[in-house]
Structure 1
Amino acid sequence: MGKIGMTELILILSIALVIFGPSKLPAIGKSIGEAIGQFKSHANKLTEDVMTPADDVKKDEKKEN
């Protein structure tokens, strides 16, 4: 259920073309791409911020043993 096939993708793009018109689609695509890029960047930073203290705790535990 989670996968989009070629037919569904073509249908979605056709509907978007009819609704927004050919002049707006590149701008919309750029905006969506930038939003996804920012989301990935922030998610990676959050993961790094969470994992770094956990790694420090593990190193401290090894030093104590």
Structure 2
Amino acid sequence: MGGRFDFGQSVSQTAKISFGDIPHDPLKQNVFASVLAEALCKDKSKAEIADMMRFLQILCSLMKSYMI
């Protein structure tokens, strides 16, 4: 991808995942989400985390439009 978050890390440095990497089992999804949240939020300020949460809310809304 190569885009940048406000966190200063490139997307490729933050996480290299594809839809195929997301487990189908809800328990495994929970573990995967926990690991990803740790990677994205560790050592970040509350403001940076809030910015990321707003971005993810927008992303989720846009992704839902593809399900219609």
For Structure 1 versus Structure 2, the TM-score category normalised by the shorter chain is 0.3 to 0.5
> Which entry has the higher C-alpha Rg, 1 or 2?
1
Normalising by the residue count of structure 2, what TM-score does the alignment of the two structures yield? 0.41
Greater share of residues in helix: 1
Larger relative contact order (CA 8 Å, sep ≥ 6) = 2
Normalising by the residue count of structure 1, what TM-score does the alignment of the two structures yield? 0.42
